[in-house]
Structure 1
Amino acid sequence: MAIGRFTSPPCHRPGIHAVEAVSEHSFPRHSHDQYGIGLIDRGAQRSLSGRGMVEAGAGWTISVNPGELHDGTPIGEQPRAWRMLYFAPDLLAAALHEAGDRGERHPSLASPALLDPRAEAAFERLYGSLTLARGSAAALAGEEALFDLLRIVGACAPLAASLHTASGLARARALIDDEPGQALTLAHLAEAAELSRFQLLRGFSRAYGLTPHAYLLQRRLELARRLLAEGGTLADVACRCGFADQSHMTRLFRRLYGLSPYRYAVSLR
């Protein structure tokens, strides 16, 4: 059988490698040095991993731990297509420690394959933020998606409510409110809140009803509307508000307010 087609889209974050594949090949047992989390886009495969025999089809999230022997055989006559993200062990181990408060040096991903729309959606957001999205908010969106994904694939322990201090979360929110156009990451916000990144993400969502990324975008759009009302040009407003470009601002502005920034500015004249 032919091996198939493999491509590696540019990835915006060091320590993470993206792969897109279409193949009907049966792969023998092998291992990777990195953690791998992926999504099967079409077709299906059977794999014997260190966590047992699994079958996965379109919409299934798959994962592999560093050094874990596994194989892969297509099910049916059609090739399967999948996308994978490979993470440097220290990078993902640190995130898993934050997400589940684990004591082991290299914690394991718990689920070799699962069909869960939440995991699929989180992977899509993470993959898009790493390979497609640009701008200062993309990194924050990617971190949120990664922790959402690890919470499901890694079977991370739920966050204890006692860790969400109202004052810490208020400091993180104030950091966004004070200057929504600045580039912020979960690390910046967690430091302000004196919480881990995962604690910040879960606590912020519970306290304010939005993830930090969604809240940041809302505040940026509010700022954009104010600057447009003051006579700012579209290009200048997009830059000052931290959007990747003018079209990015326009798309989000229309989604929230029901009209484009241009139409909004014209309506004020």
Structure 2
Amino acid sequence: MSRSKTSIIRNAHFPFLELKDGRIHEAAKGNYSTRAHSHEEISIGFLELGSSRIRCRSLDLDMDVNQAILIPPRTVHLCEPHDESRFSFKMLGIDSDWFSTAFDTDPLTLLPQVVVLGQEALACKTSFFNMIPQFEDALQAETESILFLEYLLFNVFGGSSSSGADILPIGDAAAENDIEMMRVKVFVDENFTESIRLETLAGLCRISQYSVLRRFKQAFKLTPHAYILNQRINLAKQMLLSGEAVARVAVDCGFFDQSHFIKTFRQFVGVAPQAYKG
């Protein structure tokens, strides 16, 4: 009896992304769409076992193992594996409205294409996919998703759209003397113990989430998420040395539970909070 298994991986902190994991046992028939169809979301497929013909718009695209395909929203396509008993894939779905806002780019201008994934791209893909169920807050999820998609669209898929323009906006303002990013930094410094979204930071300057992420990192050498964690840990160190209990420090510094705080503190300081406290 042939069997197949497909799972959908999501994270409650980031509803704009889902990962479809089509794994095989004895045969994979049924763990992929067998009728021509389209999605409202952007889809990026990764072939991990076997080979397939992808009919996409008027194109017939051949895919092999360790290749990826970019499928724009509302693009009719059909996957036809050459051997259903040896076929396994992952499909990343990205909400089109979120992408449009985050990158200030119309997803309908993306071009369907198949590319070969080198070792760096494969490692980056594996790392990001493993990260999805472990996102601990919305800002981390947005940051890692934008960085991964930037890498894919620029470095892997070539960075151009149907209009011939760059997929993502480039040429941000110089980091030095960036008054808008100073405004963002002041806001973060005053609110880093609260839950902050990239959308909120972008709204301070009326720019996209992608732009605020890129420009903030240029200006301060850290993403907003990393900067916020750094500020929280610095505050936590002061509170611990003043005698505050670990549980109280975790709450007051903006961590959603004590285990999250302890894990992050170890990553930044190298020892557990209790050991640091002495």
Q: TM-score range by the shorter chain?
A: 0.7 to 0.9
Which runs of structure 2 are paired with 1:117-266 in the superposition (5 Å)?
117=120, 121=124, 124-125=127-128, 128-129=131-132, 131-135=133-137, 137-142=139-144, 144-145=146-147, 148-149=150-151, 151-152=153-154, 153=157, 155=159, 156-162=167-173, 166-266=178-278
Deviation per CA, 1:102-152: give whole Å up to 9, x if none. Answer: 5xx8332554444153586368447734x3323354344355446535643
Give the conservation status (yes or no) of the 8 Å contact 1:221–1:253: yes
Matched, 1:19 2:20: yes
Residues 140 and 66 (structure 1), Cα distance of their counterparts in 2 relative to 1, 3 Å cut: closer
| 1:85 aligned residue (88, 92, 96) | 92
Is the partner of 1:91 in helix, strand or coil? helix
Unaligned runs of 5+ in 2: 160-166
Deviation, 1:160, is 1.8
Residues 138 and 194 (structure 1), Cα distance of their counterparts in 2 relative to 1, 3 Å cut: same
Residues 256 and 118 (structure 1), Cα distance of their counterparts in 2 relative to 1, 3 Å cut: farther
Determine what percentage of the aligned residue pairs are the same residue: 21
Deviation, 1:170, is 0.7
Residues 225 and 195 (structure 1), Cα distance of their counterparts in 2 relative to 1, 3 Å cut: same
CA distance in 2, matches of 1:143, 1:20: 18
User: Counterpart in 2 of 1:4?
Assistant: 4
Deviation, 1:79, is 3.6
Give the conservation status (yes or no) of the 8 Å contact 1:34–1:86: no
Give the conservation status (yes or no) of the 8 Å contact 2:17–2:92: yes
Aligned length: 259
CA distance in 1, matches of 2:95, 2:173: 31
Q: TM-score by structure 2 length?
A: 0.76
CA distance in 2, matches of 1:122, 1:176: 30
Residues 5 and 77 (structure 1), Cα distance of their counterparts in 2 relative to 1, 3 Å cut: closer
Q: TM-score by structure 1 length?
A: 0.78
Deviation, 1:163, is 7.8
AA aligned to 2:76 is L
| 1:33 aligned residue (39, 49, 52) | 39
AA aligned to 1:53 is L
AA aligned to 2:184 is A
CA distance in 2, matches of 1:110, 1:263: 53
Residues 140 and 16 (structure 1), Cα distance of their counterparts in 2 relative to 1, 3 Å cut: closer
